Structure 1
Amino acid sequence: MLAAVPRFLTPLALLASTAAFGQAPAAQGLGLVPLPREVQTPAGHYALPQKVSIYAAGPEARSVAGLLQEMLTALGRTASLTTNRQAAQIRLGPATGAALGPEAYRLAVGRPGVDITATGGAGLLYGCQTFLQLLPPRPTAGPLSLPYVRISDAPAFTWRGVHLDVSRHFFPVEFVKKYIDFLAAYKFNTFHWHLTDDQGWRIEIKKYPKLTTISSQRKQTLVGAQQTFKSPADFKYDGQPYGGFYTQEQIKDVVAYAKRRYITVVPEIEMPGHSVAILAAYPELACQPGPYEVWTKWGVNEDIVCPTEPTIKFFEDVLAEVIPLFPGKYVHIGGDEAPKTRWKTSAAVQEIMKREGFTDVEQVQGWFNRRIETYLTSKGKKLIGWDEILEGGIAPSATVMSWRGEKGGIEAAQKGHDVVMSPGGWLYLDAGQNPVPHSPNEPLMIGGYLPLEKVYSYNPLPAALTPAQQAHVLGPQANLWTEYITTPAKAEYMLFPRLLAASEVAWTPNAQKNYADFVPRLGPQFARLDAKKINYRVPEPLGLDSVSAQRQPGRQVFTLRSLVPGAQIRYTLDGHLPDLTTERYTQPLTVPTGQRLLVRAVTIAPNGRVSPPAELLVR
């Protein structure tokens, strides 16, 4: 096997690359995530000195150079900006030769130093992020030996999104910025900020101050996994008031922080469903008299705003304050899970149906959405909503985010709508990471099972679409809903390492993806997560499953391995939870058959953190 050659080269390019670069290290050996499109690794190394000068040509390049300077300083380099190109070890500038896309870049490490070129600032930043993955994850002293490399790279999709729900549980500005840093490090470009829901309104609206004094606060929160309770009589609450919101100045600060990292922030203001928090402050917007309160449990609430003119005016007023805060072109209106129970018995809604000639109450939501879209369009914005917005009819210019599987996205693309693919079965990172539902070895979570490999397997371009229809797919988005995610540390546990798989889904063409290739490239990323003090979930050992077993007379043999470099594997055969005192795995594990044995194995990372157990019942 010719280790120096990218697996996607043509036979002719294969020969040329072999002739030029010989038996250089494999691209895989660089440990880059997400995988670049083209990688060449010619023989040789460059010594990056302790004191690094960065040259940048143009305003965007200088802005990116400033970020690179900060990141190199955090890695122990003494980095400075220079106007002398010849004196610089790192040079950022415009691409020459063949045209590059707006987010593409080229990275070359060779005898003259490091050159990163791109059409614009986004590509330069992505080139810098790839360059940083060539460096050790922690500060080091003295020169660094970097392998020569030539990379030409571009994203597969223009929308590479990650979502954060701050309504169910609130996260401080400092963590939101850290979240944005996660995204930038792995080349995501869209941050979907879910700001309002039944359980809390999180954005200051000056015209409606009760949204922050009342709607942002709930009196208590449900304790335990709601889906495991048989009836509301089983519900228990913590009795602790809970709340929080962002001022408009804080919103501006976060948006500016994201913009510098070429991440667009898309706000979500839920309407007409998931709106009982609004009614707690402004009950006159309901279809029937209150009182209402900010919800203290999860799920879908039948109390939603009434689609009357005062309600439409309310949302227009809210959007009038939201729009100037977010310079991106999209505003997300939610539109999902809006029960029509109250609408069906409302005289106001019946009057709308009669006036508009509607025969189905679902059409009223479509009418409502179109009213909101008309307002957004007048302000130069585009409407995006969850796939339920298709049900009542929407304008051709509306964009659909498909979350209930792929069906809504396929239908929307076939009708000519732009689509973001965000199906729950593949990209809802609040789902469980253990095949045992509500495993005692995992923190409380919403349930389901979404392992790393399944996230990685997702292809955002459904085969049911023609190439012309696939062109409407803007890209994928991973979501993090926070009903059971109460702290930044738990958010990180749910995100990582699955977010790294999602980054490759978003950046790398599906034809170039290969999970067996991804796993060894994932390994070096754990040290980077450690260096950034990210509370990732330590993956359990691989190989302890019936499919992996080598069956021999009277026994099964398991070959285990860890995804975390330098980790130990510890195991037990009696069902006890392994730890540092139990047997260490050093050779293939032989387990006798003919008796019931619960085999369990854990990964113990170099930092001492322990994975949940992998387990198998052997009979």
Structure 2
Amino acid sequence: MNINSKLLLLFGYLLLNFSAVAQTNADRYPIIPLPQTLIAKKGEFVINASTKIVLNNKDEQLKKAVDFLVGLVKNSTGYQLELGGNVPKNALVFTLDPGMKNEEEYRISISKSIVDVRAKTAAGIFRAVQTLRQLLPPQIEEKQQVSSVKWSIPCAVIQDVPRFDYRGVHLDVCRHTFPVEFIKKYIDLLALFKFNTFHWHLTDDQGWRIEIKKYPKLTSMGSWRKETAVGKTTTGTPIMDRKYDCNTYEGFYTQEEVKEIVKYAQDRFINVIPEIEMPGHALAALTAYPELGCTQGPYEVATRWGVFNDVFCPRDTTFKFLENVLTEVMDLFPSKYIHIGGDECPKLRWKNCYHCQTLIKEKGLKDEHELQSYFIQRMEKFINSKGRRIIGWDEILEGGLAPDATVMSWRGIEGGIAAAKQHHDVIMTPGGFCYLDHYQSKSENEPLAIGGFIPVEKVYSYDPVPDSLTPEEANYIKGAQANLWTEYITTPEHAEYMVFPRAIALAEVVWSSKNKKNYNDFLARFKKQALRLDELKVNYAKHILSGDK
């Protein structure tokens, strides 16, 4: 045997050995998203009736993060993990370490006697808790006591920190609305995979979904539509071919329900960003208050999907209305970001409106695109005056970007590139990778979707930082987000099917190092976590478990 043959055999042996080790790690450490470093150790830590919790800092947020784990363990095992002092063994020890740099960085050292968890903040501790949760048997998710399960965590040293600060998932409740309990479940699943942002799309042409006490007609008139389009009846469909279900559709969230959901998310260290659409996608608001439109109405809450010409008219009364609405919204949502939409705003009404054309001349604006920029910048000044910042879809670039705006790039990556080059923060959410309302399988049994094809592997392949950016410009890419628009998604079960596991793939994209990503390894780990989703009764898409396309 010559030297080349020996080298080939050695290479093949090493490759097979590496694959076996990787598979073993996926079985024993099925953590998603993949940690930055994980050193496997022999042995396991076993939780039993005598296991204690040690908190090395007096901090309410730290206690909240750890209480999440205590609750999980109590429900499924019956063990009450009580607080102890300097327990030398059989304890989970949690410490806030100011020496760490990132707010969500954490370190876990698991031995047979001690689980030592350290993080700079309680948010980091909570992310570490999710890692421990994923290492425990999936029956830990049960709401009632389970017997005959060994509650063990494999020994390891894990050092972890997210790649991006912003890791989000969106939900549109305007086209179809969802119960409060489902939104809590949605937030729970985001927390499990270390997302930190829930983007809640609350107003649109097809319904206004949040109670505003100063303007009660927004919900008494704007939260219901007389019927809903059936099938693919979008803008381009001839009127005579459109079909409707002839059933009234309604629903909104009271302010008390909003507070409940925001608090629920806060307890899971997730920020909720509300979206109040302007100046387009405003038909539900115009139906309630027609004086806010250019033609003064009458208007009707949209019964089909698409983009509509009737938008907010940039009068002082409109701005006052929106300021009052946003004041109530900001009282409900502590988020530093308020999403103001800014997308798909036709200019036809503005072109034919005497007031709009006069305003363009008075302000020395070039055209209706600059009028939209004026609109967004005026709202930004108000939101900034309240100590908050705006996010808008990438159309807010048209006519000039508001000074402190963050851009959400959805029409591909070009908007994100343009904003980053202008030194504006960017959230990447391009439709070709991050729109979970698109088909995910070529099976003929797939439920109706808006179109497109985005399988799990394509989501996983995405990199939020475009190659065309310099290192300095790349710093303005703050993260990425998955979006779920619900034109064709009418039930919680359908929503879960569209989101999972694709959002789980994105969780790894936005957390783990780019050079550590491996789709086959991800699939191996997901197959283990799928058992957890089964325990949580999540209606996830299962075709990737069998290798189907």
Tell me if both proteins adopt one fold, taking TM over 0.5 as the criterion: yes
1:470 aligned partner, one-letter code: A
Q: Report the equivalent of 1:462.
A: 466
The structure 1 residue matched to 2:93, chosen from 66, 91, 94, is 91
Query: What is the distance in 2 between the residues matched to 1:113 and 1:134?
Result: 15
Q: Report the equivalent of 1:566.
A: none
- Quick one: higher RCO (CA 8 Å, sep 6+), 1 or 2? 2
2:497 aligned partner, one-letter code: Y
Percent identical across equivalent pairs? 49
Are 1:41 and 2:58 an aligned pair? no
Q: Shift in Å at residue 51 of structure 1?
A: 5.2
Deviations 1:484-512 (A, max 9, x none): 11111000000111111010011112122
Query: What is the distance in 1 between the residues matched to 2:481 and 2:337?
Result: 14
Q: Shift in Å at residue 231 of structure 1?
A: 1.2
Are 1:489 and 2:488 an aligned pair? no
Are 1:164 and 2:171 an aligned pair? yes
Q: Is the 2:23–2:521 contact (alpha carbons within 8 Å) kept by the matching residues of 1?
A: no
Query: What is the distance in 2 between the residues matched to 1:271 and 1:186?
Result: 32
Q: What SS is found at the alignment partner of 2:135?
A: coil
Normalising by structure 1, what TM-score? Answer: 0.81
1:510 aligned partner, one-letter code: K
Q: Give the ranges of 4+ consecutive aligned residues of structure 1 lying more than 6 Å apart after TM superposition.
A: none
Q: Shift in Å at residue 518 of structure 1?
A: 1.2
Q: Report the equivalent of 1:599.
A: none
Q: What SS is found at the alignment partner of 1:114?
A: strand
1:498 aligned partner, one-letter code: R
Query: What is the distance in 1 between the residues matched to 2:323 and 2:407?
Result: 21
Distance 1:375 1:170, change over 3 A: same
The structure 1 residue matched to 2:157, chosen from 146, 150, 156, is 150
Number of residue pairs aligned between Structure 1 and Structure 2:
520
Query: What is the distance in 2 between the residues matched to 1:104 and 1:480?
Result: 28
Unmatched 5+ residue regions in structure 2?
Answer: 1-17, 140-145
Q: Report the equivalent of 1:474.
A: 478
1:74 aligned partner, one-letter code: N
Summarize the alignment of residues 293-304 of structure 1 with structure 2, pairs less than 5 Å apart.
293-304=300-311
Summarize the alignment of residues 372-521 of structure 1 with structure 2, pairs less than 5 Å apart.
372-435=379-442, 440-521=444-525
1:452 aligned partner, one-letter code: V
Unmatched 5+ residue regions in structure 1?
Answer: 1-17, 542-561, 564-612, 615-619
Q: Is the 1:363–1:393 contact (alpha carbons within 8 Å) kept by the matching residues of 2?
A: yes
Query: What is the distance in 1 between the residues matched to 2:527 and 2:75?
Result: 22
Deviations 1:387-415 (A, max 9, x none): 00000212331100000000000000000
Normalising by structure 2, what TM-score? Answer: 0.91
Are 1:102 and 2:106 an aligned pair? no
Which structure shows the bigger proportion of residues in helix conformation? 2
Q: Report the equivalent of 2:14.
A: none
Q: What SS is found at the alignment partner of 1:133?
A: helix
Query: What is the distance in 2 between the residues matched to 1:377 and 1:63?
Result: 31
Query: What is the distance in 1 between the residues matched to 2:236 and 2:307?
Result: 16
Query: What is the distance in 2 between the residues matched to 1:85 and 1:230?
Result: 70
Are 1:341 and 2:348 an aligned pair? yes
Query: What is the distance in 2 between the residues matched to 1:235 and 1:427?
Result: 29
Q: Shift in Å at residue 516 of structure 1?
A: 2.2
- Highest Rg: 1 or 2? 1
Q: Is the 1:49–1:142 contact (alpha carbons within 8 Å) kept by the matching residues of 2?
A: no
Q: Is the 1:283–1:289 contact (alpha carbons within 8 Å) kept by the matching residues of 2?
A: yes
Query: What is the distance in 1 between the residues matched to 2:449 and 2:132?
Result: 36
Query: What is the distance in 2 between the residues matched to 1:276 and 1:251?
Result: 22
Q: Is the 2:226–2:249 contact (alpha carbons within 8 Å) kept by the matching residues of 1?
A: yes
Deviations 1:246-302 (A, max 9, x none): 111111111111111111110000000000111111111111132111000001011
Q: Shift in Å at residue 172 of structure 1?
A: 1.3
Distance 1:64 1:141, change over 3 A: farther
Query: What is the distance in 2 between the residues matched to 1:241 and 1:505?
Result: 40
Deviations 1:555-606 (A, max 9, x none): xxxxxxx25xxxxxxxxxxxxxxxxxxxxxxxxxxxxxxxxxxxxxxxxxxx
RMSD: 1.9
Q: Report the equivalent of 2:26.
A: 28
Greater mean deviation of Cα atoms: 245-254 or 404-413 = 245-254
Query: What is the distance in 2 between the residues matched to 1:140 and 1:187?
Result: 29
The structure 2 residue matched to 1:238, chosen from 235, 245, 263, is 245
Q: Report the equivalent of 1:288.
A: 295
Q: Shift in Å at residue 433 of structure 1?
A: 1.1
Distance 1:345 1:227, change over 3 A: closer
Query: What is the distance in 2 between the residues matched to 1:527 and 1:317?
Result: 47
Q: Shift in Å at residue 92 of structure 1?
A: 1.4
Query: What is the distance in 1 between the residues matched to 2:262 and 2:179?
Result: 14
